Amino acid sequence: MRDNYNEHGVDEYYRKVAATYRNPFFPGIKKVIWALMKEWWAKEGMVTARVSVLDMAAGSGEATLCLLEWEQAVRTTPPPRLDKIPVQSSVPLIDGFPGFDILATDPYTFPAYLRRTSRTCFPLSFADLANGVLPPNAPNVWDIVICSFAMHLVNTPSELFALLYELSTKARWLVILAPHKKPEAGQRGRMKLTRQIKEGWGWSRWDLEAWGPGQVHAETDIVQEK
């Protein structure tokens, strides 16, 4: 991907693959989302209303498909065999899970999303969302926003702040999936994205093990397929 970005530029690369894009890390994305949803449901998800989700920068629908497959799995007796894509832990059966209402946005790959999921993806960018532009029939507040392998493409801290702060007024949970290695001292000055989200930007880092606000440097991420 780095070579693609260097050769074409980010915008032009995604225009070229608008109808054909696929994230090669789909199995790892599925493991992470399923592990997260099991924890989230156990701690927060005992609700009777459907769970509203924004799949932001949705690519070809990887996160959407993972959620829909998880929904199917928790309603199935017995749970499906997962030999090809094993998950971190067993899938619990959930009596009466109300299901997901998913809206998706991506300014480039919405044709690939439609082709793969047969669902609509609205061509809204990070800047659109930061400026309060929403897809039709969006809820007042989403339960979950998922951004998969894309948040690092926000160009500047000011743009990242504008997006995150706006999302904080419209969502309860923000889930960031990223392929980056954890930073080490002197590693080209890079910082992990979640370290760059500052206090006052509308979000608190979450300790999944303790299920509460976590320290900025706490190692509480779900890591699969390093």
Q: What is the CATH number of the domain that holds 92?
A: 3.40.50
- Residue 222 falls inside a structural domain: no
Does residue 98 have a cis peptide bond before it, meaning omega lies within 30 degrees of 0? no
The dihedrals phi and psi of 109, each to the nearest 5 degrees, come to: -95, 20
Read off the pLDDT of each residue in 199-203 and give the average, rounded to a whole number.
89
Split at pLDDT 50, 70, 90, the class of 190 is very low
* CA 82 from centroid of its chain's CA atoms: 22
pLDDT of residue 145: 97
Distance CA 87, CA 172 (A): 25
125 — pLDDT class (breaks 50, 70, 90): very high
Per the listing, tokens 């693609």 go with 4
Let me know if residue 173 belongs to a domain: yes
* Rounded Cα distance, 55 and 72, in Å: 18
Mean pLDDT of 165-182: 86
For the segment 81-85, the average pLDDT, to the nearest whole number, is: 46
For the segment 193-219, the average pLDDT, to the nearest whole number, is 78
CA distance 108 to 123: 7
Residue 221 lies in a domain: no
Q: Classify each residue of 211-220 as buried b or exposed e, where b means 16 or more C-beta atoms within 10 Å of its C-beta.
A: eeebeeeeee
pLDDT value, residue 191: 44
Per the domain annotation, does 224 fall within a domain?
A: no
| Residue 121 counted as domain residue | yes
SS3 150: coil
For residue 10, the enclosing domain spans 2-213
Tell me the pTM.
0.81
Amino acid at 16: K
Structure confidence at residue 182 (pLDDT): 41
User: What's the pLDDT band for 15 if we cut at 50, 70, 90?
Assistant: low
Written as six digits, the tokens of 144 are: 């979950």
Residue 51 falls inside a structural domain: yes
Of 25, 96, 19, residue with least CA distance to 60: 19
Q: 3-state class of 147 per DSSP?
A: strand
Is 65 domain-assigned?
Answer: yes
Cα 139-140-142 angle, rounded to 5 deg: 60
- Within a domain: residue 220? no
pLDDT at 4 over 60: no
Q: How many domains does the chain have?
A: 1
